[in-house]
Homo-oligomer: A and B are copies of this chain.
Amino acid sequence: MIKVGIAGASGYTGLELLRLLIKHPDVEITAVTSEKHQGQKLADVFPSFGGFSDLQFVSLSPAIADTCDILFLALPHTTAMNQVPAFLTGNCRVIDLSADYRLKSAEIFEEWYSVPHEQKEALSQAVYGLPEMHRDNIRSAKLVANPGCYPTSVTLAVAPLVKTGWVDLDTIIADCKSGVSGAGRKLATHTQFAECNEAVSAYGLATHRHTPEIEQEISALAGRDIRVTFSPHLMPMTRGMLSTIYINLKKDLELEALGKHYREYYKNEPFVRILNLGTFANTHHVAASNFCDIGLQIDSRNRRIILTSAIDNLVKGAAGQAVQNMNIMLGLDEKTALDSPGIFP
C-alpha cells in the first residue's frame, strides 16, 4: 500500500481528499494534519467519516514527509511555500494544492500575490498538474503544483482552440461562476449563509490571482503571450463551477466542425466530456465527480465562439485532480477512485 499524508486535512479541499482517498484501493492514509483540530479524531469532528477511519489530527511538522510516499498539501496560499523544500529532501513526493508553485515565473507570482517567492529552486522543479496538458511531466515529478479551480475549468475549455488558427486569441473573456466552497472553510462574512444565499455577485474583476495562471497555460500552448479577461462570480450553491468563455472567430465556422474537433482533441481523456451540440454545461451534472463537461456554441451573428465548461470545484478543481495526479505519478490506472458519475439530483 502506498502511504499518503494530507496536510490541512480539515479544510474543504482536505476533506474531499479524504473522501476520495479513503476509498482508494492502493492507498493507506498515514497522517492527517490540522492545527485547529490536532488531538481530535477525524470522525469526531466530521461525522460523515464515522465508521471509515480512526485517524486523529496531528500538527504539521517536517517529519510527516518521512512517513509518506505522497504528501498532499491543502494549506492556505503562501503558507506552504517555505515548508515544501523540507518535505522534498527524502523519498516523499509532494502534491501542493495551494497556488505557491503554479506560476513558473517568480516575478509574475510576486506581482499578483504581493509576496516574494523565496523557493526558486523548488519552483523550478514544480510541474503544473493539469494531466490533460502535462501528463508526461507529472509522471516523474517530485513536486506537482495542482491547478486552481478557475484555471482548470477555463484552460481545458480553451486549449483545443489555441492551435487551430480559427480564433483571435487576444479576445478571450472568461466569465466564471463558482460555488461558495471554493472560498474555503475559514470564517468570513461574505461566506456566511445569510450573506451569500439568494445572492449572485462579482468579485475580483480584473484583479483575481487566477488570471496569470490561465494566461501561463494558454500562452505556453500558443507559443506567445496571451492575456485574458477573467471575471469570477460567487453563486449561492456549495459546489460547482461554470465558466462561460467568449472568443472571437477569425472566420466563419460550423458548429459541427467545432464539435468534431473537440471530440477528437479529447478522445483519449477520461475526465473531459464534450456535450451534445445544442446543450450547454450544467454544474449539476458533474457534482461530486471528476469530470469537466464542455459545451459548444457559435454566435454566428457576432462571429464568436461561446464555450461553457463545468466542473466540481472541489473535485476536478482541486482534490479529484490531485488524486488523478497521484495516480499518474504512481503509474496506477488514472481513474482509480475517481471513476464515478455525478450526484444527480
B201 contacts A242, C-beta separation under 8 Å: yes
In chain B, what residue has the closest Cβ to A12? B345
A295: B residues at CB distance < 8 A: 202
Within 1-58 of A, Cβ neighbours of B (below 8 Å) are at 12, 15, 19, 22-23, 44, 46-52
A339: B residues at CB distance < 8 A: 23
A273: B residues at CB distance < 8 A: 47, 50-51
In chain B, what residue has the closest Cβ to A283? B200
A89: B residues at CB distance < 8 A: none
A283: B residues at CB distance < 8 A: 198-201
Question: What's the least CB distance linking A308 to chain B, in Å?
Answer: 5
B341 contacts A301, C-beta separation under 8 Å: no
Question: What's the least CB distance linking A101 to chain B, in Å?
Answer: 24
B246 contacts A229, C-beta separation under 8 Å: yes
Question: What's the least CB distance linking A276 to chain B, in Å?
Answer: 6
**Interface pairs (26), CB distance under 8 Å:** A15-B345, A19-B341, A46-B285, A46-B344, A48-B342, A48-B343, A50-B275, A51-B273, A173-B173, A175-B231, A177-B177, A179-B194, A187-B192, A192-B192, A193-B196, A193-B236, A197-B238, A198-B287, A201-B280, A201-B284, A202-B308, A205-B299, A205-B306, A233-B244, A235-B235, A239-B345
Specify how many copies of this chain sit in the oligomer: 4
Interface string of A300-340 (1 = CB under 8 A from B): 11101010101000000000000000000000000000011
A285 contacts B192, C-beta separation under 8 Å: no
Question: Residues of A with Cβ closer than 8 Å to B?
Answer: 12, 15, 19, 22-23, 44, 46-52, 173, 175, 177, 179-181, 185, 187-189, 191-203, 205-206, 227-229, 231, 233, 235-240, 242, 244, 246, 270, 273, 275-276, 279-289, 291, 293, 295, 297-302, 304, 306, 308, 310, 339-345
With contacts A275-B47, A302-B229 taken as known, whether A240 is within 8 angstroms of B200 at the C-beta atoms is: yes
